Amino acid sequence: MKKECVLVCGGAGYIGSHTCVELIQAGYDVVVVDNFSNSEPSAIDHVRRITGAEIPLIEADCCDREAFRKVFEKYEFNSAIHFAASKAVGESVQKPMLYYRNNLTSLMNLIDLMHEFNRPNLVFSSSCTVYGEPKKQPVTEQTPRQEATSPYGNTKKISEDILRDAMKAYTDMKTIALRYFNPIGAHPSALIGELPRGVPQNLVPYVTQTAAGIRECLSIFGDDYPTPDGSCIRDYIDVVDLAKAHVAAINRMTQGKSEANFEVFNIGTGRGVSVLELANKFQQVNHLKLNYKIAPRREGDIIAIWADPTRANTVLGWKAERTLDETLESAWNWEKHLRGIE
């Protein structure tokens, strides 16, 4: 029997590459489109190595509608996942038009082409950034979204709105927006993981690069927040668990289980972890000493946020499984593999 195929836009990236592995292992074929603006084609070689699958990889920009259209003309698929976006919060403040153009044009092209070619199922990468600084923890999908604090965050809010409106008009299509909390870690094979360009802005890549001796010292941004140990709290979600949430979303749509044609799910563990806890746990599980210091607060940081994942657990049938220990171990194994550390 012919397998169902999924178009993975931005599939060579961090979350996309892990999702390709999980889709293939769940019995799907995948076709990847990427412009490699923040990734390397070799990531897909590694996915091929992990899975043994053949994966068509098309170098194209999703903002280039004619190039994107060729993918629809050539390949048959009923579902697409849209990872292709620019994601650096700080850069989005400096280059807002790049973020609005890339993140919104690529999405609008995808919706138009899916509608034109009758490809019904779409999964969208949203973010907990849409909740801003929540008044109450944990956040549910009903927690009000707040004004975005960066152009990047705003593209996620606007993208959700575009999708909601498009799904009202295109009733033969379905979208699931997954609001990721903080994705971290790497595949247990250590063949794929996060590849930050330049100085990492996110916590775990900075931690692993510090442990590898590439960065001198981790700065912990603030220990005077109104939290139990004074550092910020996040919900760190393992990237393999996160990848599996996409498989659950695709299954739900292809099996006709959606209750509405636009649905939203929080994808997190439900567990809030502070920056200090994470740094200490990283040292403990990997048996090493991490050079870190307390530094001033970082402008624009949310004090605390963690997910209520009940809806994803009960409706989507997905649950985070890997422990924080396993995830932090996988993050360090990936860094060691990249740097050739024994």
Residues near ligand NAD, by CB under 6 A:
10, 12-16, 33-39, 61-63, 83-87, 102, 106, 125, 127, 180, 183
* Binding partner selected for residue 269 from ligand NAD, ligand WQD, none, CB under the kind-specific 5 to 8 Å limit: none
Neighbours of 311 (CB within 10 A): 17
Q: 182, 261, 286, 333: which one contacts ligand WQD (CB under 6 A)?
A: 182
Amino acid in position 121 = N
8 A C-beta contact, residue 10 and residue 16: yes
Cβ at position 168, least distance to ligand NAD in Å: 23
Binding segment (CB under 6 A) for ligand WQD, from list 75-83, 134-142, 164-172, 195-203: 195-203
b vs e for 19-28, b when ≥16 Cβ sit within 10 Å of the residue's Cβ?
Answer: bbbbbbebeb
* Binding partner selected for residue 272 from ligand WQD, ligand NAD, none, CB under the kind-specific 5 to 8 Å limit: none
CA 112 to chain centre: 23
Question: Segment 216-235, which members bind ligand WQD (CB under 6 A)?
Answer: 218-221, 232, 234
Tokens of residue 50, six digits: 């992990």
- Residue 275 near ligand WQD by CB under 6 A: yes
* Binding partner selected for residue 174 from ligand NAD, ligand WQD, none, CB under the kind-specific 5 to 8 Å limit: none
DSSP, residue by residue, 35-49: --SS--THHHHHHHH
* Binding partner selected for residue 38 from ligand NAD, ligand WQD, none, CB under the kind-specific 5 to 8 Å limit: ligand NAD
CA atoms of 147 and 207, how far apart (whole Å): 30
Q: Point out the catalytic residue in the list 14, 28, 99, 152.
A: 152
Q: 105, 137, 201, 280: which one contacts ligand WQD (CB under 6 A)?
A: 201
* Binding partner selected for residue 140 from ligand WQD, ligand NAD, none, CB under the kind-specific 5 to 8 Å limit: none
b vs e for 174-203, b when ≥16 Cβ sit within 10 Å of the residue's Cβ?
Answer: bbbbbbbbbbbbbbeebbbbbbbeeebeeb
Q: Indicate the Cα dihedral angle 287, 292, 294, 299, nearest 10°.
A: -110
- Residue 89 near ligand WQD by CB under 6 A: yes
Q: 206, 265, 306, 318: which one contacts ligand WQD (CB under 6 A)?
A: 206
236 is catalytic: no
Q: 80, 84, 203, 237: which one contacts ligand WQD (CB under 6 A)?
A: 203
Strand, helix or coil for residue 267:
strand
Neighbours of 156 (CB within 10 A): 25
DSSP, residue by residue, 173-236: -EEEEEEE-EEE---TTSSS-----SS--SHHHHHHHHHTTSSS-EEEE-S-SSSTTSS-EE-E
8 A C-beta contact, residue 34 and residue 57: yes
8 A C-beta contact, residue 185 and residue 327: yes
- Residue 82 near ligand WQD by CB under 6 A: no
* Binding partner selected for residue 125 from ligand WQD, ligand NAD, none, CB under the kind-specific 5 to 8 Å limit: ligand NAD
- Residue 87 near ligand WQD by CB under 6 A: yes
Where does residue 142 rank: exposed (0-12), middle (13-18), buried (19+ CB within 10 A)? exposed
Cβ at position 174, least distance to ligand NAD in Å: 19
Closest CA to 3 of 26, 36, 34: 26
Q: State the residue number with the nearest CB to ligand NAD.
A: 13
Q: Which is nearer to ligand WQD, 300 or 317 (CB)?
A: 300
Q: Which is nearer to ligand NAD, 64 or 326 (CB)?
A: 64
Q: Which is nearer to ligand NAD, 27 or 41 (CB)?
A: 41
Residues in the site for ligand WQD, rule: CB under 6 A? 87, 89, 127, 129, 153, 182, 201-203, 206, 218-221, 232, 234, 275, 298, 301
Which residues are marked as active site? 152
